[in-house]
C-alpha cells in the first residue's frame, strides 16, 4: 500500500490507486483552438490535423456560416459537418453574431501584466494597451453594462448558437464556448453556465492548472503574425514543466501574405509546429484533445473518488464514482500499483474488458466513472 496526497482536496488517503493528472498519464494537455471559422483556415488545417490524428476545436459564429467575417469567407454547414465527421473535430460555439460585448477598463487593466509577460513584442503590446485603454475610458458604458449588446441579446447569443450547432452537427452535443473578442462579464459567464456549457474560453494569456482553473474563463496563448515556431514550441515545453493545460488559439492560417492582419499564421509555421506536437504525442508526453474533452477530464478528476473495495494476492476490486451529469463521459486514466509477481493482468469494468499498459510495478488504463466496479486479476 502506498500513501498519496490529493493536492486538489487536501485529503490524505491510504491507497494503491490514483487518477492521473492527464489522460494516459501524459505530462501536459494541449488543445488547438481555431476562431471564427475562416474557410481558408479550415482548408489549410483540418486535413493536416487529421493526417496526424489530432483532434481540434473549431469555434463558429453561427449567423456567419456560409457568409463572411471581416472580409474573409466563413465555412458552410456542409464543411463543418465533414470536419466533425472526418477529422473528429469539436464544433464549439463562438456566439451567433460575434458581437463585441462590454469589458470595463478595470477588467482590461487587470489583464495587462499577464499580457505583457507573454507578449512577443513588448513595445507593440504597450502601444496596443495605450490605444485600447484610451478607447475604453472614452467609450460610454450603457446602463445595462454591455456596450450596446443588451443582456437579453447576450443570452440569445449563448443559447441560440448552441441550439443551431446541435441541430446541424448531430454527431456531438455542444459543450464549449468561446467569447467573441475574448470579452466577458459576470452576466455573460452566468449565461454560459445556465445554458449547460462545460467550459468557456477567453483571450487572457496563460496556462490552465488545477488549483486555479476557471472553467468559464479558460486562458490561452494566441498565435499572431509575430509568433515564431520556436516560441510556440516553448509554450508547450513550459506547459510540460508546469503540468498544465495549454490552449493554443489560431485565427487565419494562410498560404498567402497577410502581414497586415495581426492574428495570421503561415501554413508553413503551422505545419512545422504540428510536426513538433506529433512527436510529443508519439512519446506520450502531451495529451492533445478538444476543449470539451480536456475540460471534462479535469472536472471529472476533481469530482471523482476511486476506492479499493477488495484486495487479495490475486485480485483487486475498485470503484470509480462521481455525481456529475451524464454529459461528462470522458474516460479517466487510473494508475494502480500491483505486486511485482503479477506479470500479466486482466482488467474489466462490468462486462467490458479493458486494455492496460504496464510501467514497472504499475498498470495504467482508462475507465469511465459510474459504469460498474473495476476488477483487476493476476493472469497466468
The phi, psi pair for 245, rounded to 5°, reads -100, 120
Residue 144 has pLDDT above 50, yes or no: no
CB atoms under 10 Å from CB of 183, counted, come to 20
What pLDDT score does 145 carry? 42
Positive or negative CA dihedral for 21, 228, 290, 49? Answer: negative
**What is the spatial distance between Cα 362 and Cα 31, in angstroms, rounded to a whole number?**
28
What's the gap between Cα 112 and its chain centre? 23
**What is the spatial distance between Cα 156 and Cα 162, in angstroms, rounded to a whole number?**
10
| Beta pairing partners, 352 | 349
Residue 23 has pLDDT above 70, yes or no: yes
What pLDDT score does 132 carry? 61
Question: Which strand (E) or helix (H) includes residue 377?
Answer: strand 374-378
Residue 9: which pLDDT band, with cuts at 50, 70 and 90? very low
What is the average per-residue pLDDT within 263-284?
Answer: 96
CB atoms under 10 Å from CB of 98, counted, come to 21
State pLDDT tens for residues 210-239: 999 999 999 999 999 999 999 999 999 999
**What is the spatial distance between Cα 74 and Cα 275, in angstroms, rounded to a whole number?**
26
Q: H-type helices in 261-355, by residue range?
A: 267-282, 291-303
Residue 343 has pLDDT above 60, yes or no: yes
Between 260 and 281, where is the model more confident?
281
Residue 185: which pLDDT band, with cuts at 50, 70 and 90? confident
What pLDDT score does 41 carry? 96
What pLDDT score does 154 carry? 84
Which among 328, 109, 291 is positioned nearest to 217, based on CA atoms?
A: 291
Residue 280: which pLDDT band, with cuts at 50, 70 and 90? very high
What is the average per-residue pLDDT within 146-174?
Answer: 84
Which among 103, 351, 370, 356 is positioned nearest to 217, based on CA atoms?
A: 103
Residue 257 has pLDDT above 60, yes or no: yes
Residue 98: which pLDDT band, with cuts at 50, 70 and 90? confident
Residue 111 has pLDDT above 60, yes or no: no
What pLDDT score does 256 carry? 75
CB atoms under 10 Å from CB of 319, counted, come to 14
Please, are residues 72 and 108 in contact by the beta-carbon 8 Å criterion?
no
Residue 259 has pLDDT above 90, yes or no: no
CATH superfamily of 29-104+141-283: Glycoside hydrolase/deacetylase (3.20.20.370)
What pLDDT score does 184 carry? 77
Domain with CATH 2.60.40 in the chain: 2-24+297-378
Quote the cell numbers at residue 178. 468561446
Residue 138: which pLDDT band, with cuts at 50, 70 and 90? low
Domain with CATH 3.20.20.370 in the chain: 29-104+141-283
What pLDDT score does 331 carry? 96
**What is the spatial distance between Cα 12 and Cα 7, in angstroms, rounded to a whole number?**
9
CB atoms under 10 Å from CB of 96, counted, come to 22
CB atoms under 10 Å from CB of 309, counted, come to 11
What is the DSSP-derived secondary structure letter of residue 165?
H
Q: Where are the beta strands (DSSP E) in 61-188?
A: 68-69, 72-73, 90-93, 176-178
192 Cβ partners below 8 Å, 6+ apart?
A: 158, 177, 200, 216
What pLDDT score does 186 carry? 84
What is the average per-residue pLDDT within 116-135?
Answer: 67
What is the average per-residue pLDDT within 189-213?
Answer: 95
**What is the spatial distance between Cα 299 and Cα 30, in angstroms, rounded to a whole number?**
16
CATH of domain 2-24+297-378: 2.60.40
Amino acid at each position: 500500500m502506498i500513501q498519496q496526497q490529493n493536492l486538489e482536496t487536501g485529503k490524505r488517503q491510504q491507497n494503491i490507486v490514483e487518477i492521473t493528472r492527464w489522460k494516459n498519464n501524459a505530462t501536459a494537455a494541449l488543445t488547438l483552438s481555431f476562431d471564427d471559422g475562416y474557410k481558408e483556415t479550415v482548408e489549410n488545417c483540418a486535413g493536416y490535423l487529421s493526417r496526424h490524428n489530432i483532434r481540434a476545436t473549431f469555434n463558429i459564429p453561427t449567423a456567419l456560416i456560409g457568409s463572411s467575417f471581416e472580409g474573409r469567407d466563413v465555412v458552410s454547414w456542409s464543411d463543418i459537418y465533414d470536419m466533425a465527421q472526418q477529422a473528429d473535430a469539436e464544433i464549439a460555439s463562438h456566439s451567433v453574431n460575434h458581437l463585441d460585448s462590454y469589458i470595463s477598463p478595470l477588467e482590461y487593466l487587470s489583464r495587462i501584466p499577464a499580457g505583457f509577460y507573454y507578449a512577443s513584442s513588448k513595445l507593440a503590446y504597450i502601444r496596443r494597451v495605450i490605444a485600447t485603454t484610451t478607447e475604453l475610458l472614452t467609450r460610454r458604458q450603457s446602463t445595462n453594462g454591455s456596450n450596446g449588446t443588451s443582456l437579453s441579446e447576450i443570452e440569445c447569443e449563448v443559447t441560440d448558437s448552441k441550439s443551431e450547432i446541435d441541430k446541424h452537427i448531430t454527431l456531438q452535443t455542444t459543450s464549449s464556448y468561446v467569447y467573441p473578442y475574448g470579452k466577458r462579464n459576470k452576466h455573460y459567464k452566468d449565461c454560459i453556465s445556465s445554458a449547460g456549457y462545460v467550459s468557456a474560453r477567453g483571450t487572457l494569456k496563460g496556462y490552465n492548472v488545477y488549483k486555479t482553473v476557471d472553467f468559464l474563463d479558460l486562458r490561452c496563448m494566441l498565435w499572431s503574425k509575430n509568433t515564431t515556431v520556436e516560441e510556440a514550441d516553448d509554450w508547450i515545453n513550459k506547459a510540460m514543466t508546469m503540468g498544465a493545460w495549454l490552449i493554443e488559439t489560431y485565427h487565419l492560417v494562410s498560404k498567402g501574405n497577410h502581414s497586415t492582419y495581426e492574428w495570421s499564421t503561415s501554413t508553413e509555421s503551422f505545419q512545422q509546429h504540428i510536426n513538433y506536437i506529433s512527436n510529443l504525442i508519439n512519446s506520450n508526453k502531451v495529451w492533445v484533445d478538444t476543449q470539451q474533452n480536456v475540460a471534462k477530464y479535469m472536472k471529472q478528476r476533481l469530482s471523482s473518488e476511486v476506492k479499493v473495495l477488495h484486495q487479495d494476492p490475486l485480485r483487486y476490486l475498485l470503484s470509480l464514482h462521481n455525481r456529475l451529469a451524464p454529459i461528462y463521459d470522458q474516460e479517466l486514466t487510473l494508475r494502480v500499483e500491483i505486486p511485482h509477481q503479477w506479470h500479466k493482468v486482466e482488467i474489466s469494468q462490468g462486462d467490458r474488458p479493458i486494455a492496460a499498459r504496464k510501467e514497472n510495478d504499475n498498470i495504467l488504463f482508462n475507465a469511465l466513472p459510474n459504469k460498474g466496479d473495476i476488477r483487476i486479476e493476476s493472469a497466468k
